[in-house]
Every structure is written in structure tokens, then in C-alpha cells.
Amino acid sequence: MIQSGPQRLIAALVAVVILGAHQLASQGWGPAQVGITPAAETELQAVVQLAGTVEAETQARIASEEAGVVAELRAREGSFVKQGATLARLKRETLERDLEAARAQLAEAQARLDIAQRSRERSRELHQSGVVSRQQFDDAESEAGAWQGRVAQAKALIGRLEIQIRRSVIRAPFSGVVVAELCEVGEWVAAGGEVLEMFAPDSLRVVVSVPERFFAGAALGEAARIRLESMPERDFDGEIVSIIPKADPQARTFPVKVSILEPGPTIGLGMTATVAFPTGSVRRATIVPKDAVISQGSQRLVYRVDAGPPDEEGNPTEIATPVPVELGAGVKEWIEVRGIRPDDRVVTRGNERLAPGTPLLTEPVEYEVP
């Protein structure tokens, strides 16, 4: 086959790299010691790739339970707060003064009640002795009952004021990151008025719209692979956690939510992602251990073990050849690749330090084939 100019140039560069690697080996550098595993062929479910958006399962606009003037915003945009931490505080001087007055009223009512109860007991004894009339005893009984009611009213008022004071401090209902400040210091907020917006970064998920023809293949608990547009060099493990059986009437797609199992701090709400998950149909596929796949920017590579030129003594050698691959479904420690054939030997240990044409000293590494 006649090669084009660029193909001849690439072939020449590879030959130079291989020759240089063998010259280094002959000068005492020696071959790289690596672990290798043969690629395998197995039956896998077909995989569909769909675009989605990162959302948070736990996300809320935090509202004030009481009306009042904002005295302090302690949590600012971008800050992480723990559950129960103070987010904001309303002015409460008036409530505190009312609470003092209510406690004073309670003390007075309690003192009056003590006097009225002692007077009632004396009246009962005198009435039984015939010294005072029934009307006088009833008056003493009524007086004690009235002060008993005032004590109860004062206690109720104190309880209500204490609740209002506690509610004047707005606390985080869960641990998360503040993403929006919805009020300012000095601003009046009504009861139920929004103060801050926050989300829990450990509850991130990707919501995808699944076409009708793939909907039956989506299953709760099914493993998925997630790749973010902003981080194409890394894949995240996911799991289908919610399937909404109601189609969009226009697009005829169904919402499916996929949790990100280990999201990390570099993932933000609204990021664009691609989710790959099985659809139910079965096909033959070539798989390699996940340890064989390395990333170079947005490209995925597998180092294949190929025959190299004979050494100075005429003995056969082996070299590393980088092969660009496309990834498919993952299954346990293995992952589907396109670009490698079954029984190709691939490097699974020590591949991070290899270069094209590196001489190899290989040792088998076993993985349990699914």
C-alpha cells in the first residue's frame, strides 16, 4: 500500500523513537518492567451515551421563619457551612425587651398566686368552722383561679417570645455550600422570606433525557459512567437513582437521574456532562482491565505489547505501542474498549512511565474475567 507524506513521516518518527529506546537499553538503561494482561472478549449490554446537566439532590432556598430586619449575614457566597451553623441573624432587641417584661409579669403573677392560694386555704378552714360565709370562700377561690390563669398566660408569652428569638437566628438545615445571597444587612424580610440559597456538594447528580426507545433499558441501581465537558480527562462512576416514568410531551424523552458517587470539589451545578449506561441489549465486546487505560488530555490510551526488533544477539524483544481507544461499558475491574482486539496483551502495571517503543520486560498480572 502506498503511504501518503504524513503517514511516512509518522512511521519514520516512530522508527526513530524505537531505535532511540533500544539504544538506551543497549547503553545500560534496560527495558521497563511492566505487568501485562491479555484483553478478553465477553458479552456486554449495549451502552447509550446521553448529554445531561449536573444538579444537586439536596438544594434549598433557606427562608426566615420570622419577620424582621437582617442584622447579620454570617455565611457568604461560596462558603461551606456545616449543618446547624448560623447563616444569618435578625434584629431581636425588641423581642428581648418583651421577654424581660413577660418574665417580670410572670414573677408578679406567681407571687400574687401564692398569696391567693394561702388566702383560699384560710377561707376554706374558716368556712368549715362557720366563721366566713360561702360567698367569701368562693371569692377567695375565684381570686386564686384568676392568678393561676395569669401565670399560665405569662408562661405562654415567654415561650412564644423564646421561640421567636431562637427563630431570629437562621441556621443551616444541612451541610453545604452557599451559592446565593438573597437579602442584605438592614433589609426587612417577611416570615417565609428567602435569605440564602445552598446545596450539598455530596449529593450531586446528572439529569439526562432518555429517548423512548432506550427507556425500558434503564434500571435503578445500574452502574453508569460520567464524563464532564470541563474535565474530559477523567471519568466518574455513577449510579441510576431515579427514573421518572413521565415523558416530555414535546421531546418524548424521560428524565433519568444518575448520582455521582465521588463528586469532589471541582464539580459545580449546571455543568454539562455525558452519561453512558447499559440499555438492556447484549453484544460481544472486547474488554481490558481498567488499570490498562491511561489519559492524555481528552484522549484515552492503552499500551499494547508488540514484537520489537531483535537485540544485538538476535533474541526477540517486546516494545510498548500506544493505541488510542474509545471506552464503553464498565464491568467490575474491566472496561470495554474499541481499538484493541481480544488476546492483545496490554500493560496494566507501570504504564504511566512508558513512551512509544519502550523496550519491555513483562510479567503476567491476573484479573478475574467477568
Length of the chain: 370
Residue, of 11 and 239, whose pLDDT is higher:
239
Whether 1 has a pLDDT exceeding 80, the answer reads no
Provide CATH code, domain 59-90+170-199. Answer: 2.40.50.100
* Terminal Cα distance for the chain, rounded: 40
C-alpha cell at 338: 474499541
Q: What is the pLDDT of residue 256?
A: 95
Alpha helices per DSSP H over the chain: 5-24, 93-129, 134-167, 212-215
Whether 362 has a pLDDT exceeding 70, the answer reads yes
Give the residues across from 137 on adjacent strands.
none
pLDDT band at 300 (very low <50, low <70, confident <90, very high): very high
Averaged confidence pLDDT in the chain: 88
Provide CATH code, domain 29-56+201-364. Answer: 2.40.30.170
Dihedral-angle region of residue 350 (phi above 0 means left; psi in -120 to 50 means alpha; beta otherwise): left
For helices 93-129 and 134-167, give the axis angle rounded to 10 degrees: 160
Q: What is the pLDDT of residue 73?
A: 94
Closest-CA residue to 236 (of 54, 28, 1, 18):
54
The conformation of residue 3, written as its DSSP 8-state character, comes to P
Q: Specify the domain boundaries for CATH 2.40.30.170 within the chain.
A: 29-56+201-364
Cα distance between residue 278 and residue 335, in whole Å: 13
pTM summary value = 0.60
Angle at 166 between CA 195 and CA 101, to 5 degrees: 125
Closest-CA residue to 78 (of 197, 173, 171, 248):
197
Q: Specify the domain boundaries for CATH 1.10.287.470 within the chain.
A: 92-167
pLDDT band at 312 (very low <50, low <70, confident <90, very high): confident
Q: What is the pLDDT of residue 2?
A: 41
User: Over the stretch 95-116, which tens digit does the pLDDT of each residue have?
Assistant: 999 999 999 999 999 999 999 9
User: Over the stretch 30-79, which tens digit does the pLDDT of each residue have?
Assistant: 799 999 999 999 988 778 889 999 999 999 999 999 999 999 999 999 99
Cα distance between residue 274 and residue 45, in whole Å: 18
C-alpha cell at 149: 390563669
Q: Specify the domain boundaries for CATH 2.40.50.100 within the chain.
A: 59-90+170-199
SS3 (DSSP) at 114: helix
pLDDT band at 6 (very low <50, low <70, confident <90, very high): very low
Residue, of 24 and 109, whose pLDDT is higher:
109
pLDDT band at 125 (very low <50, low <70, confident <90, very high): confident
Backbone angles phi, psi at 34, to 5 degrees: -135, 160
User: Over the stretch 212-243, which tens digit does the pLDDT of each residue have?
Assistant: 988 888 889 988 989 999 888 888 999 999 99
Q: Which CATH class is domain 92-167?
A: mainly alpha
pLDDT band at 29 (very low <50, low <70, confident <90, very high): low
